Structure 1
Amino acid sequence: MSPPEPNAKAVELNPRTTSYEFLGPPGALFVTLTVPFVTYALYFGCSEATGGCPPNLSTIPDQVKAALSNATWWKGLWDMEASLMYLAWYMFCVVAWAVLPGDRVEGTMLRTGEKKKYKINAFSTFLLAMGITTGVIYRYGPESFTFFYQKWVGFCTAAILMSVLQGLACYAASFQEGKLLALGGNSGNFIYDFFIGRELNPSIGSLDIKSFNELRPGLILWVLINISMACEQATRRGGLNQITDSMWLVLTFQTWYVADGLYNEPAIFTTMDITTDGFGFMLAVGDLAWVPFTYSLQARYLAFKPVELGPIWTAAIVVVNLTGYWIFRDANGEKNDFRNGKNPKNLKFFTTSRGSKLLTSGWWGLSQHPNYFGDLLMALAWSLPTGFNTPVTYFYIIYFSVLLVHRQRRDDENCHKKYGKDWDTYKKMVPYRIIPYVY
């Protein structure tokens, strides 16, 4: 049964998408299949259960062939207990969103002339989850919180299935009358629209699904998984006081990064994910599966391959991370102040013919995305504690570099459409894209 034909007003508000990203439907299908595959591959390619990180390269083809042809291996991807625990975790986040107090803030102006309101209490949800986790570990010992390490594959499968179900549900719901669609997700091709996201802001009542998933279930779970990896290491080494300096660095850096993002929750409502992208499988699997189960690779590696850094290497890595955080936070602070009509640093700016103002000094005079540069430095600091015995643990910095370059190019294309020749003028004033004097 095909969806009803939209009326003229709906067509004007939700025009048909005429250009593709990700090379269109073939690219969308490729990424849809590749993301779960890579998520699993990073486990099976970096795990003591499969022979190391990575296992002997000459044995990998035979291992893959044997696994894929074995029904027991496929059944092993599913773990009912892990799935129920994941569902309970997701519902915990929903209930915490509903019952914990929080202000309501307005997002950017929609094409309808309205502004969506969001309840902000992600940081409170994080503190509650951390409090419960701390209590469990204090009461029952670190061995009580190693289940993420023990049931890794089952949790990963549950998160991927949740992503597929949400992607399909949001796609189906987007055909209801009165829905505001994403300008880039209304192509009419199921594969592409399911992946990229057809509806801009799918909601259940006042619960905005996109911003909820962006900040709560996956991001907080990332920290809980890291804690579980530290508990696994502590259990093996004889107690919490035996956790290595490398594990403490990864745990501290990444927990701080998550806490900072959750504390500054309102900043997310001006990002491209919220203002421009629809919510489909791309964001669902990224938020719910990719972030917690690939970003925690370093901690999982250190759980079974502990690394002792010593004070000099520890201090050097701390400097790298703090430098990245300073650039990231200070650059975002300059931008947020400027958007809110403040300019405490008296930064220079360029005014376009549309009346928009673009910063051309401070951090934003050094590159078009200085915050991305800070992000990359922090990503490097998260991988360095694992040492140099394997390139696998540096997957995050490599992937993140590709992601940020892709985001920069998307932003460049959108700004060309928005500002026209003014954007070319701006790029002459600020020629570097991410890393000053390099790129």
Structure 2
Amino acid sequence: MSSSKSVARRGAELNPRTKTYEFFGPPGALFVTLSVPITTYALYYGCSEETGGCPPPWSSETIVAALSDPQWWKGLWDTEAALLYLGWYAFCVAAWLVLPGDWVEGVTLRTGDKKKYKINAFSTFLLSLGLTGGYIWTYGIESFTFLYEKWVGLVTASVLMSVVQGLGCYAASFRSGALLALGGNSGNPIYDFFIGRELNPSIGSFDLKSFNELRPGLILWVLIDISMICEQAVRRGGLGNVTDSMWLATGFQIFYVVDGLYNEPAIFTTMDITTDGFGFMLAVGDLTWVPFIYSLQPRFLVFRQKELGLLATAAIVAADGLGYWIFRSSNGQKNDFRNGNNPKNLKYLTTERGSKLLIEGWWAMSRHPNYMGDLIMALAWSLPTGFETPITYFYVAYFTVLLIHRQMRDDENCEKKYGKDWHKYCELVPYRIIPYVY
């Protein structure tokens, strides 16, 4: 057998053709590809000061008239906002390159190798925060309201960046030697572009997927929240007059980001990193959805200012604290166990493959107790907006669907991996996310 045939055979064995679809196949992939940007814009125009409310007093005629107006479409583009976004992304890349950081190994790949990742997301965040604080100190709080003012243009820039990355990674995945994602090699370009064809697209040691997951979008989310605080402070006569609801909503979100960045190594055992390819789905999720959808509540509180009072504030803080405790402690148990540590001697089920599945602690209550904590925190982030509109609870509804979908994917993969041992595990841990509910 010639060497070229041998290489081709090995490549086919290493990168088998994907035989099953998610998201209802190419039609579903196309639908999500189009609906994510549309939803992002819709949540702005459907809940903003510019359009007159949340929701605004619109009719179908008004919507059709706006979409038929070339000026409305031109208004989605803002050259200054695009340059700002490009500069921000370039700053994050430069910080990854320049700032010191440990190199840690990820999980073992199908090739038998382990990819190494540079850990400096938290120091990138601190640098960003320091520069932002210095800018505001020098030029005043009114100088940092531009993220509120240029919202639509920044969204457009982030969507464009996502499309460029999705197309670039799809094209690059056809090079010789690329390790493909098991779920992204269907042969259908629409589906593979969306789901991600290559598992770990990289430029040298720069891994694009893990970089996008933690830096440009996640840190921008915090900067957006700070901009919302500044915008409200300008309107109310100073930072001392910012509402308790704004402090709660932004405080919860910023703490969540800080926790994720500080615990950066935990991300390398998640499905996004170990299983999913990097395509438009993860690119637009990281760069557009996270910063511009997750910050909906602070943006709403800029123009719908609410004072909650001590009792409501305490109750919401307690709810967020409960969610965080469940989320962090359950993830801690899982990560310790996966790394070979079991300080509390938690019980586990040993499968025929030799793998071990936790069946005690948080992981006896449900198969995904960390998702339960995440959902409680999501609700706490929305409660400061009150009950004036259901739109500010969009994140809770979306996140519930997302986590249930992830749980179903995970259960399906585990059933294929562990077979009858998985069924035995499900008998021991019957609840998927919320005990006695689901």
Deviation string, structure 1 residues 95-137 (Cα, Å, up to 9, x no partner): 0000000000000001111000000100000000011111111
Q: d(CA) in 1 for partners of 2:51 and 2:31?
A: 26
Do structure 1's residue 85 and structure 2's residue 80 form an aligned pair?
no
Do structure 1's residue 116 and structure 2's residue 119 form an aligned pair?
no
Q: 1:46 aligns to what?
A: 47
Q: 2:197 aligns to what?
A: 198
Deviation string, structure 1 residues 228-277 (Cα, Å, up to 9, x no partner): 01111001111111110000011111111001000000010011000100
Structure 1 segment 115-134 matched on structure 2, within 5 A: 115-134=114-133
How big is the shift at 1:60? Answer: 3.2
Q: d(CA) in 2 for partners of 1:277 and 1:305?
A: 39
Structure 1 segment 261-272 matched on structure 2, within 5 A: 261-272=260-271
Deviation string, structure 1 residues 189-244 (Cα, Å, up to 9, x no partner): 00000000000000011100000000000000001001101111001111111110
What SS is found at the alignment partner of 1:108?
A: strand
Counterpart amino acid of 1:369?
A: H
What SS is found at the alignment partner of 1:350?
A: strand
Counterpart amino acid of 1:274?
A: I
Structure 1 segment 51-62 matched on structure 2, within 5 A: 51-56=52-57, 59-62=58-61
Q: 1:225 aligns to what?
A: 224
- Unmatched tracts of structure 1, length 5 or more: none
Do structure 1's residue 14 and structure 2's residue 15 form an aligned pair?
yes
What SS is found at the alignment partner of 2:112?
A: coil
What SS is found at the alignment partner of 1:20?
A: coil
What SS is found at the alignment partner of 1:153?
A: helix
Structure 1 segment 287-302 matched on structure 2, within 5 A: 287-302=286-301
Q: 1:149 aligns to what?
A: 148
Runs of 4+ in 1 over 2 A off after TM superposition: none
Count of aligned positions: 434
Q: 2:178 aligns to what?
A: 179
What SS is found at the alignment partner of 1:342?
A: coil
Q: d(CA) in 1 for partners of 2:402 and 2:393?
A: 14
Counterpart amino acid of 1:328?
A: F
How big is the shift at 1:9? Answer: 1.4
| Aligned CA-pair RMSD | 1.0
Q: d(CA) in 1 for partners of 2:335 and 2:276?
A: 21
Counterpart amino acid of 1:270?
A: T
Q: 2:346 aligns to what?
A: 347
Q: 1:26 aligns to what?
A: 27
Do structure 1's residue 136 and structure 2's residue 135 form an aligned pair?
yes
Q: 1:35 aligns to what?
A: 36
Q: d(CA) in 2 for partners of 1:174 and 1:341?
A: 34
Counterpart amino acid of 1:338?
A: F
Q: d(CA) in 2 for partners of 1:63 and 1:205?
A: 50
Percent identity, aligned pairs only, is 74
Q: d(CA) in 1 for partners of 2:288 and 2:186?
A: 26
How big is the shift at 1:141? Answer: 1.3
- Unmatched tracts of structure 2, length 5 or more: none
Deviation string, structure 1 residues 30-65 (Cα, Å, up to 9, x no partner): 000000000000000001111100012xx3312210
Q: d(CA) in 2 for partners of 1:366 and 1:203?
A: 38
Do structure 1's residue 248 and structure 2's residue 275 form an aligned pair?
no
Q: d(CA) in 1 for partners of 2:384 and 2:68?
A: 37
Counterpart amino acid of 1:250?
A: A
Q: d(CA) in 1 for partners of 2:71 and 2:341?
A: 61
What SS is found at the alignment partner of 1:343?
A: coil
Counterpart amino acid of 1:16?
A: R
Do structure 1's residue 317 and structure 2's residue 316 form an aligned pair?
yes
Q: 1:386 aligns to what?
A: 385
Structure 1 segment 159-174 matched on structure 2, within 5 A: 159-174=158-173
Q: 1:401 aligns to what?
A: 400
Do structure 1's residue 438 and structure 2's residue 426 form an aligned pair?
no
